Amino acid sequence: MPRRTDFLIIGSGIAGLRAAADLALAGDVLVLTKADPNESNTGYAQGGIAAAVGDDDTPALHAADTMRAGDGLCDEAAVACLVQEGPVYVRELLEWGARFDRGADGRPALGREAAHSVRRVLHAGDATGREIGRVLWERVRALPSVETIDHALVTEVVVEDGRARGLRYFDADGASREVHAGATLLATGGAGQVFRETTNPAVATGDGIALAFHAGARMEPAARRCDAHQFSTLIVKAQEFQMHKPIKHVGLTANGLEK
């Protein structure tokens, strides 16, 4: 008989862990992760997190900067959600113990990058994603209603009567398993490994996209969004070296470092 749980989450990055933290208040949560629980794109996210938390900033200004940078490609509803809710969740991370860089006054140090018109980017050194992941893992591990199974290779979404009812997967010993849930969340990250050179970890193979497609989900052609994909400025032996893009926004010019 298939195992049953209230909520089933595939993926242990920021999205999956933050969802688990909230869903644990409503029932039992099972998190499946393909490799080690800490191995996801989250841990490789070096850049900062932008939110209108500065004294000279507002969600409206953040939205205006984002829409201008998007040059007509932004989804206004998504932008509104980002700028309005971003400060709420950044402050939540601070309350949960996120160790973002601090200024001399003890407040979070805010950086200015790219199209941002004011300083609004928080960093935790050059490992912001890893720090956020640490905070969320500590939060989730303390919740008795959350269980994690690592090295679980999900192969199929169980669909009954047009609805996702659970998943089939192979466990660490190669045994086939099936779990059913009241709700199933795919939070599997990206598909960087489809490219010859990538700074994404080996687990970023687009599993969730394939699972959703075979389950009958409506998919948007990737070509429509390729212009919005983020590519590193320079990748040389991708697994060994990456030029961190914010460098150019804090003083690097074509002729060298600004004084």
Same domain, 121 and 142: no
Q: Is residue 246 part of a domain?
A: no
Cross-strand bridge partners of residue 156:
168
Same domain, 64 and 85: yes
pLDDT given for residue 256 in this prediction: 44
Same domain, 149 and 222: yes
Last residue of a domain, one of 125, 145, 174: 125
Q: Is residue 112 part of a domain?
A: yes
How does strand 29-32 pair with strand 146-149? parallel
Q: Is residue 117 part of a domain?
A: yes
Q: How many residues does the chain have?
A: 259
Same domain, 38 and 132: yes
Q: Is residue 28 part of a domain?
A: yes
Q: Can you give the pTM of this predicted structure?
A: 0.82
Q: Is residue 245 part of a domain?
A: no
Token pair for residue 223?
């070509």
Same domain, 22 and 102: no
Please say whether the beta carbons of 43 and 160 come within 8 A: no
Domain of 211, CATH number, reads 3.50.50.60
Last residue of a domain, one of 110, 125, 140: 125
How many domains does the chain contain in total?
Answer: 2
Same domain, 171 and 118: no
Same domain, 32 and 138: yes
CA–CA separation, 40 and 130 (whole Å): 10
Same domain, 201 and 176: yes
Last residue of a domain, one of 125, 144, 167: 125
How does strand 121-122 pair with strand 49-50? antiparallel
Please say whether the beta carbons of 146 and 29 come within 8 A: yes
Same domain, 121 and 61: yes
Same domain, 109 and 144: no
Q: Residue 209 is part of which domain span?
A: 1-45+127-230
CA distances from 146 to 10, 38, 227, 236 (A): 13, 16, 38, 40
pLDDT given for residue 255 in this prediction: 42
Q: Is residue 211 part of a domain?
A: yes
**Each residue's pLDDT expressed in tens, for the chain with a length of 259 residues:** 889 999 999 999 999 999 999 999 999 999 999 987 666 767 677 789 999 999 999 999 999 999 999 988 899 999 999 999 999 999 999 999 999 999 999 999 999 988 999 999 999 998 899 999 999 999 999 999 999 999 999 999 999 999 999 999 999 999 999 999 999 999 998 888 888 877 788 888 888 989 999 999 887 765 555 555 555 544 544 444 454 545 444 544 444 444 3
Q: Is residue 79 part of a domain?
A: yes
Same domain, 217 and 145: yes
Same domain, 26 and 153: yes
Q: Is residue 172 part of a domain?
A: yes
